[in-house]
Amino acid sequence: RSALWVFCDCADMARSGTEKPFILFLSLFFAIFACVAIVVLAVAAQTSPSSSSPSSPTSSEDKEEYTILVSLDGFRHDYFDIHPGKAPTLESFRRDGVYADRMVPIFPSKTFPNHWSIVTGLNAESHGIVANSFYDPVFDEEFHLWSTRAVRNASWWGGEPIWAAAEKSGLTTACYYWPGSEAPVGGVRPTYYKAFDGSVPLSTRVDGVLNWLALNKTARPSFVTLYMESVDHQVGTGNPPPALT
């Protein structure tokens, strides 16, 4: 069995006040919450070892489970209505899968705090990532999302991310970008991970995930994250309204 979770993050747009009240955007954070088994099953079928005869329903290969967590940072809930037909694959996720009408972010509604909450289940006051950039009087240091030294320092990242729990359970995990994935939290990193590089095209990132899923069964990750920030950098706080982009 396989599952694809897509988080469309419009939290930063909540602060811009460009089109709708702040509270509405907060309530619609991560507006599309899709779990599309059929799509990922197709991917799994393409990446599974070929066989001359149909696989047995009870084979170990059929019992493998894969979860892919995708974040589209800054992708608002209403883009499908504003730009119909521009994202047919995502629209098919909503149409054929399962989605939530609305979700509420943690406070503050910033990228790093919320993405770390997604993978730890903790609020910011518990996991410690209280903003994208902040000063910690205990460490007497500043944390900044663009600081390689900071993002790779496990001391900043409280809680246990899902990939660490999975690795401890003997599963293989992979992160093609995700806040916190570069740090050895609890002494554990994903088996495969990429240091963030915003210049890497989205197509290259997707290909990287597909290559991981094409590995042989013993090396293939059971849990994969994929983070895409391009929409947020185009229409986030201080940028033009989505109707103009």
Q: Are 39 and 93 in contact (CB under 8 A)?
A: yes
* Secondary structure (DSSP) of 112-136: HHHHHHHHH---HHHHS--SSEEEE
Strand partners, 28: 103
Q: Please state, as a whole number, how many other Cβ atoms lie within 10 Å of the Cβ of residue 121.
A: 12
Find where tokens 């883009």 sit: 79
Catalytic option among 18, 47, 89, 111 = 111
Q: Are 230 and 7 in contact (CB under 8 A)?
A: no
Q: Are 226 and 40 in contact (CB under 8 A)?
A: no
C-alpha to C-alpha distances, 31 to 69, 79, 159, 172, nearest whole angstrom:
15, 10, 25, 29
Catalytic residue status for 111: yes
- For the purposes of burial, counting CB atoms within 10 Å of the CB of 170, is it exposed (0-12), middle (13-18) or buried (19 or more)? exposed
Which are the catalytic amino acids? 111
